[in-house]
Amino acid sequence: MIVAQGLTKRYGDKTAVDGVDFTVPSGTVTGFLGPNGAGKSTTMRMILGLDRPSAGDVTVNGKRYAQLAAPLHEVGALLDAKAMHGGRTAYNHLRWLAASNRLPRRRVDEVIAMVGLGEVARKPAKGFSLGMGQRLGIAAAMLGDPGVLMFDEPVNGLDPEGILWIRNLMKQLASEGRTVFVSSHLMSEMALTAEHLVVIGRGRILAETDMVTFINQNSTNYVRVRSPQQEALRDLLHAEGLQTSANGDGSLRVEGANTVRIGDAAGQAGIWLHELTLVQSSLEEAFMRLTADSVEYHAGVPGGVAGAVPGAVPAAGAGAVPGAVPGAPPGAGPGTDPGATPGSAPQPGGVPGWGPPQAPGSRQEGK
């Protein structure tokens, strides 16, 4: 377990980490999220005793890093995959680390096999790709078989296969009861990996929560509905006590109701619908909204964070789902709305309120 209390780091008049309190529990993957410059790396360096706090404290298993009798057996870390002597082979890089911590040579072979570097272990590390370097860094972190593991942006620059490998490895390490603390600025990636979250912005903790709660509190849903009888539909929805706003593309945005309720109401009133879609904001958007005031460097992208819903995704049944996060916890992706069952997909003539033009009354047939 890692515990930070009032942890602060100042560089001159710059406060990189500003009195943060958080706990990283064991047996789970904890995502450490924040935009560039938020203070993630500085915090991790302080945990590892590489930077001295200006104030406050951080402990690993109840002790400061410097007080740990055998640090490599307690904490393993990957901070910078390139931080190794390029002329050394992967094997020799691990051997000197093992020797300096009185670990047997056998352990070097074990971690090399664990990260899948067996074929290149005798080659100089300077020829390694980014992914191979990350694997070597993880092998080094695992050498002492520690109960606490920390990874700083481990998936940066990796291909999909490498990302999947790291994601599964972290989950496996946590399932073995270890403390796994991983930093990232990619919310969507963390949604697939972490169960617990610590969000930091401009050196301050913005959220410390479990992933499911974060998703439920920060993602918003609405229904996009389009009708050739837009005014009648708007009046009907208002009469139903629902709030609507114009989307600007001729459709209405309806808050507080699912597609079934809106489709049923429209069908019963004889109003045609040309579109009925559940739209969910992506996790990336929820994270950007939370950290919008904490971003150090803005690119000035038109229609940025606070504007419309750039990451919004239509829910299941509405076609493709760009930005969706398969396998994510409830609320992370499409399909959490009961109205988003296949029956709410555009199906000619299938559902009241949908279908090809016909006499309004005829849609009730067969009911």
Ligand X SMILES: Nc1ncnc2c1ncn2[C@@H]1O[C@H](COP(=O)(O)OP(=O)(O)OP(=O)(O)O)[C@@H](O)[C@H]1O
Which residue in 11, 57, 82, 126 binds ligand X (CB under 6 A)? 11
The answer to whether residue 106 forms part of the interface with ligand X (CB under 6 A) is: no
CB of 282 to ligand X, least distance (A): 20
Contact between 193 and 171 (Cβ < 8 Å) = yes
The answer to whether residue 100 forms part of the interface with ligand X (CB under 6 A) is: no
Q: Give the three-state DSSP class for 133.
A: helix
Residue 353: CB atoms within 10 A of its CB come to 24
| Residue for token pair 């399932």 | 175
Element (H or E) spanning 20, and its range? strand 14-24
Q: How many residues bind ligand X (CB under 6 A)?
A: 13
CB of 149 to ligand X, least distance (A): 18
Element (H or E) spanning 29, and its range? strand 28-33
| Residue for token pair 């919008």 | 292
Q: Which is nearer to ligand X, 10 or 73 (CB)?
A: 10
Rounded distance between C-alpha atoms, residue 294 and residue 36, angstroms: 9
Q: Which is nearer to ligand X, 38 or 173 (CB)?
A: 38
Task: Report the site for ligand X in 296-325 (rule: CB under 6 A).
Answer: 296
Q: Which is nearer to ligand X, 45 or 178 (CB)?
A: 45
CB of 296 to ligand X, least distance (A): 6
DSSP classification of residue 329: P
Write the interaction track for ligand X spanning residues 26-45; mark x where CB under 6 A is met and - where it is not.
--------x-xxxxxxx---
Give the residue among 238, 282, 205, 159 at the shortest CA–CA distance from 30.
205
Write the interaction track for ligand X spanning residues 258-297; mark x where CB under 6 A is met and - where it is not.
--------------------------------------x-
CB of 154 to ligand X, least distance (A): 13
Rounded distance between C-alpha atoms, residue 195 and residue 31, angstroms: 8
Which residue in 107, 185, 224, 363 binds ligand X (CB under 6 A)? 185
Give the residue among 25, 28, 24 at the shortest CA–CA distance from 43.
24
The answer to whether residue 182 forms part of the interface with ligand X (CB under 6 A) is: no
Q: Which parts of this chain interact with ligand X (CB under 6 A)?
A: 11, 14, 16, 34, 36-42, 185, 296
